[in-house]
């Protein structure tokens, strides 16, 4: 019989407890913390040879469900990382079968996660079995991740899991992570590994800031010159259509949405290299200076181009959201251009260039709405008092007064994303993850109805000083603090000191899974990173 014993891993209710055994000290916990978790000291030994995933008879999803079939294989390798069929395991135990049974109410195996996806799940672990129940396959994926974190090994390499009951669901529907692939090109493998780590932390939106001033690596079918002339290199530093499809599918299999950002009218210098007459010519001394500013919002060709590009984006990216940017637009070039001045006079804008930007952004948002896409825009669009179409999502990125901005935006009835306090491309010495952990997204002046309009937030990793060499250690485990804030019950996760042992253990788990997550403080992992 399998050994049922007092385990070195023990967790009671929602407190992190250090439990010392003869051989090893372990901290119990799942990251991010489930809404409800109860564990006992009873543990079952697991044998890789006798461990199986299966679908329960009442499950709408059965064998052939690509999302879960693939997840079973992936999580078997995660739970038993060094297993081979010929290896000897559990030499101190008499092997006993263990079955993890999955029951999903709705099939949905071939679709994509969306803003309404139900990610809730219940997980019950007892002797010889675990039962995972969810409404959707996306909830089942979150439950499989939690189960994988419950499994641990003793000093002899034997596997165990404690008796556990979990009831879990996310606090916010939108839990995003932004990668900037324009300022430094990120190879495909770096993006895919980031998606893996996102799934481990239960992030569910990949915000792909795919193009910007420095480069245009997206290879457009409609406008191939954009990457041919705007990328750092037209062959080695681009994302082909097949690359994009691979990212979207890799994300789908992990329950992650892919939301692209094509930021305009500013941040478009690379666009102009492959699209003549798109950018505004700048003037000096009454003559063209040879330099260019933002997109020219005064000519019809601009809107015809944007409509064709956004139609392609709709076809390539299946998610219902698209990020349109709208931030940090310099007005100097517009101010210098006589044709822009005449257009301003004709429209009655005077010399208020915020009205010109508003005119452009309103036009682009209307194009997007006509394509049945939901626009996300940066807060500048709201700050310039633009007429924002119903349903548009506003994203706050300016850090000083984000609580005031939350109050204003939600009072105006808009849905809001918060990213301002989670710009973790900014680094400081020490445990700066604690700053991210202390953020309270709904702690602002407003009614309960206003606070419901905060649909989530995201971590931003801008690329001025980040490429594939330092992406993972800068992201992880620092991004995990926001992951827990966006998933877990805030009242039960306000104490960073209590969270530290659990995050420290999760960081080691990321390292074991091949993620180069940086240390939180002095210490060691049982399985140090060996991927170099």
Answer whether 154's CB lies under 8 Å from 397's CB.
Answer: no
> Could you give the domains of the chain?
36-168 (3.30.379.10), 174-513 (3.20.20.80)
Mean pLDDT of 487-492: 97
C-alpha distances (whole Å) from 301 to each of 58, 223, 264, 305, 329 are 56, 14, 15, 6, 20
At residue 121, the pLDDT reads 98
How much of the chain exceeds pLDDT 90, in percent? 87
Total count of residues recorded for the chain: 532
For residue range 95-111, list pLDDT tens digits in order.
Answer: 789 999 999 999 899 99
Q: What is the 3-state secondary structure (H, E, C) of 257-283?
A: EEEEECCCCCCCHHHHHHCCCCEEEEE
Q: 27 and 7 in contact (C-beta within 8 Å)?
A: no
Task: Give the per-residue pLDDT at 1.
Answer: 33
Give the end-to-end CA distance of the chain in Å, rounded to a whole number: 41
Using the predicted structure, report yes or no on whether residue 2 has a pLDDT greater than 90.
Answer: no
Is the pLDDT at 360 greater than 90? The verdict is: yes
Residues 65, 107 contacting (CB under 8 angstroms): yes
Could you report the per-residue pLDDT of 390-439, keeping only the tens digit for each? Answer: 899 999 999 878 999 999 999 999 999 999 999 999 999 999 999 999 99
How far, CA to CA in Å, does 144 sit from each of 69, 149, 472? Answer: 12, 9, 23
Q: Tell me the whole-structure pTM to 2 decimals.
A: 0.93
Contacts of 223 (CB under 8 A, 6+ apart): 274, 275, 305, 308, 309
Question: Average of pLDDT values for 195-207?
Answer: 98
| Residues β-bridged to residue 51 | 98
Query: Residue 531 — pLDDT band, cuts 50, 70, 90?
Result: low
Task: Tell me which residues are annotated as active site.
Answer: 328
- pLDDT tens, position by position, 146-180: 999 999 999 888 999 999 999 999 999 999 999 99
pLDDT above 90 for 386: no
Residues 6+ apart with CB under 8 A from 51: 76, 79, 80, 97, 98, 99, 100
**pLDDT of residue 260 exceeding 90:** yes
Higher pLDDT, 340 or 9: 340
Rg (CA), the chain: 25
Strand, coil or helix: 41 = strand
- The per-residue pLDDT for 15 is 34
Phi, psi of 55 (to 5 degrees): -95, 135
Model confidence at 526, pLDDT cuts 50, 70, 90, reads confident
Q: Which residues pair with 25 in a beta bridge?
A: 20
Mean pLDDT in residue range 480-496: 97
DSSP three-state, residue 339? helix
**90 vs 45: which has the higher pLDDT:** 45
Q: Is the pLDDT of residue 211 over 90?
A: yes
Q: What span, in angstroms and rounded, lies between the C-alpha atoms of 350 and 160?
A: 72
**Bridge pairing between strands 159-168 and 174-180:** unpaired
Residue 426, CA distances (Å) to 50, 361, 422, 500 in order: 47, 29, 9, 21
């Amino acid at each position: 019989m399998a050994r049922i014993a007092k385990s070195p891993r023990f967790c009671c209710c929602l407190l992190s407890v250090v439990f010392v055994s003869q051989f090893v000290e372990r901290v119990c916990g799942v990251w991010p913390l489930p809404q409800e978790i109860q564990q006992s000291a009873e543990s079952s030994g697991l044998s890789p040879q006798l461990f199986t995933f299966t679908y329960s008879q009442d499950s709408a999803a059965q064998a052939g469900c690509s999302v879960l079939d693939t997840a079973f294989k992936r999580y078997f390798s995660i739970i038993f990382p060094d297993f081979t069929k010929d290896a000897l395991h559990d030499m101190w135990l008499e092997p006993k079968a263990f079955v993890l049974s999955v029951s999903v109410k709705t099939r949905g195996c071939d679709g994509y996660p969306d803003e309404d996806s139900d990610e809730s799940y219940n997980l019950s672990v007892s002797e010889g079995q675990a039962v995972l129940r969810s409404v959707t396959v996306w909830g089942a994926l979150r439950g499989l991740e939690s189960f994988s974190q419950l499994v641990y090994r003793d000093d002899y390499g034997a596997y165990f899991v404690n008796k556990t009951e979990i009831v879990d669901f996310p606090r916010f529907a939108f839990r995003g992570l932004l990668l900037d692939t324009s300022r430094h090109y990120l190879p495909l493998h770096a993006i895919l590994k980031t998606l893996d780590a996102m799934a481990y932390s239960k992030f569910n939106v990949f915000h792909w800031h795919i193009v910007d001033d420095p480069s245009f690596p997206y290879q457009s079918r409609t406008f191939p010159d954009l990457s041919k002339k705007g990328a750092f290199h037209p062959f080695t530093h681009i994302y082909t259509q097949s690359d994009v499809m691979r990212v979207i599918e890799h994300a789908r299999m992990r329950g992650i949405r892919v939301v692209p950002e094509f930021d305009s009218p500013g941040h478009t210098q690379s666009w102009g290299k492959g699209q003549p007459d798109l950018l505004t010519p700048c003037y000096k001394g009454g003559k063209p200076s040879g330099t260019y500013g933002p997109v020219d919002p005064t000519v019809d060709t601009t809107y015809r181009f944007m409509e064709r590009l956004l139609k392609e984006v709709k076809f390539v990216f299946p998610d219902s959201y698209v990020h349109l940017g709208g931030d940090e637009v310099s007005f100097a070039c517009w101010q210098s251009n006589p044709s822009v001045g005449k257009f301003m006079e004709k429209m009655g804008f005077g010399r208020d260039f915020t009205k010109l930007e508003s005119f452009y952004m309103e036009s682009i948002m209307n194009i997007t709405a006509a394509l049945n896409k939901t626009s996300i825009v940066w807060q500048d669009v709201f700050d310039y008092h633009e007429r924002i179409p119903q349903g548009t999502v506003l994203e706050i990125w300016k850090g000083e007064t984000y609580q005031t901005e939350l109050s204003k935006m939600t009072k105006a009835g808009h849905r809001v994303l918060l990213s301002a306090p989670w710009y973790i491309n900014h680094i400081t010495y020490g445990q700066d993850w604690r700053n991210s952990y202390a953020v309270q997204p709904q702690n602002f002046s407003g009614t309960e109805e206003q606070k419901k309009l905060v649909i989530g937030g995201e971590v931003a990793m801008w690329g001025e000083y980040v490429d594939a060499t330092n992406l993972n250690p800068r992201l992880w485990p620092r991004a995990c603090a926001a992951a827990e804030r966006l998933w877990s019950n805030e009242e039960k996760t306000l104490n960073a000191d209590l969270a530290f042992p659990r995050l420290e253990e999760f960081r080691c788990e990321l390292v074991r899974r091949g993620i180069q997550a940086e240390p939180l403080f002095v210490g060691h992992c049982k399985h140090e990173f060996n991927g170099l």
